[in-house]
Amino acid sequence: MKRALSWALAMWLGIPFALWPQQVPPAEGQRKKSVPQSRGEEVGDVVALTAELVILDVTVVDRRHHVVADLEKDRFTVYENGVRQEIAFFSREETPVSLGLVLDTSGSMRRKLGKVIAAAKSLMRQSHPEDEYFLVEFKGEVELLEDFTRDVSLIHDALDNLIASGQTALLDAIYLSVEHAQKYGTHRRKAILVVTDGEERDSYYTREQVLERLRGSDVQVYAVGFTEGLGEAAIFRQTESRRLSGQEKKARKLLEELARESGGRAFFPQGLDELETIASTIARELRTQYAIGYYPSSPERDGSWRTVRVEVTPDKERGPLTARTRAGYYAPKKDAAKPPSR
């Protein structure tokens, strides 16, 4: 049975999100995570992690933004805080994703909603057969319409019942969806797809809080922003004077920043007919990422922010290649409760 949970109401009542009754047991027959036994081993989609191993999901594209999926380990160089790291784990196999579909159903999205729903269904058709999904809609408040499931028919049914109305709590939707994916996604690789016109109103969380939450997770953000004029008419009449140009720039900057920090990607279509191609691009990127792991050369458990950069050697035929991954991570902290050694 479909559940609709109002996260905005939970916040207003002061109920911690972690205590809001949204976690459900895995569906019958759903594969559980194996406990990895050795360093660098990969069991299904579960990479064997130790306390120190850092795993990066990396997308590589050429100058035309086409995905490059056939590179070997020696083509990659990883830097942490500017210091080159030794790659200890490398995989380029397709692995399943825990993916959240986060859709703006505010009143300004009314005429776009049909195409957005069709694009979401198209993305699911092209994804890995073991992918799992949850569906969130946001307007004045944020609602979890369907929790994590591999049964795409449940997501389809919920999509078909969406109705556009009201305002836009964009920042709340992103914050809570990233948190949900991080806590309850059963696959190591996690992402959310946000489709919005970029207008922000009525959110509890701030931009800085959203960015901080994102940096503390390994969830990738893919965003599709209809920011031109923040309205249907301006999308199709490019010569029209746009009084909200400052607001458009602000919306684009936010979506681009979230995507860049997480290793995802932001798209800004000029028309609804581009959604099908965008959905195909996102599905392919999620299927064909590289997993690269390393043990940091500075193993201090100090809770500090560590910047990460991945470079790829140029290709003779395809020219310069660009690697996208998350901007960094927070190092673990020492266990304050651990007694000092004697």
Q: Are the C-beta atoms of 4 and 143 separated by less than 8 Å?
A: yes
Within 10 Å of residue 97's Cβ, how many Cβ atoms? 26
3-state SS of the chain: helix, strand, coil percent to 5? 30, 25, 40
Place of tokens 């290709």: 315
CA dihedral 158, 18, 192, 13 (to 10 degrees): 60
Domain ranges of the chain: 45-94+289-330, 96-287
Per-residue model confidence (pLDDT) at position 246: 80
Taking each helix axis from N to C end, the angle separating 207-215 and 245-262, rounded to the nearest 10 degrees, works out to: 20
Query: What are residue 319's DSSP bridge partners?
Result: 315
Identity of the residue numbered 43: V
**pTM of the predicted structure, to 2 decimals:** 0.81
Per-residue model confidence (pLDDT) at position 293: 97
- Alpha carbon of residue 27 to chain centroid: 23
Place of tokens 């070997």: 72
Q: For residue 217, what are its two tokens? A: 């997770």
Per-residue model confidence (pLDDT) at position 240: 44
**Main-chain dihedrals φ then ψ at residue 100, nearest 5 degrees:** -105, 130
**83-85 sheet: strands from edge to edge:** 83-85, 76-80, 305-312, 328-330
Residues 93 and 289: their CA atoms lie apart, in Å, by: 8
Q: For residue 209, what are its two tokens? A: 């809080």
Classify residue 25 as exposed, middle or buried by CB count within 10 Å of its CB (0-12, 13-18, 19+): exposed
Per-residue model confidence (pLDDT) at position 227: 83
Q: How far is CA 299 from CA 32, 52, 135, 144, 336, in A?
A: 30, 7, 38, 38, 17
Per-residue model confidence (pLDDT) at position 245: 61
DSSP H/E element including 328 = strand 328-330
- Domain 96-287, classified CATH 3.40.50.410, yes or no: yes
CA dihedral 152, 194, 111, 231 (to 10 degrees): 180
The tens place of each residue's pLDDT in the chain, 342 residues long, gives 334 445 544 543 343 343 333 333 334 334 333 333 333 334 344 444 455 899 999 999 999 999 999 999 999 999 999 999 999 999 998 889 999 999 999 998 999 999 999 999 999 999 899 999 999 999 989 999 999 999 999 999 999 999 999 888 999 999 999 999 999 999 999 999 999 988 888 799 999 999 999 999 999 999 999 987 554 444 344 444 444 468 888 889 999 999 999 999 999 998 899 999 999 999 999 999 999 999 999 888 889 999 999 999 998 888 999 999 999 999 988 864 454 444
Q: Are the C-beta atoms of 304 and 145 separated by less than 8 Å?
A: no
Tell how strand 54-61 and strand 265-267 pair up.
unpaired
Q: How far is CA 38 from CA 5, 97, 108, in A?
A: 40, 23, 51
Residues 326 and 133: their CA atoms lie apart, in Å, by: 21
Per-residue model confidence (pLDDT) at position 334: 80
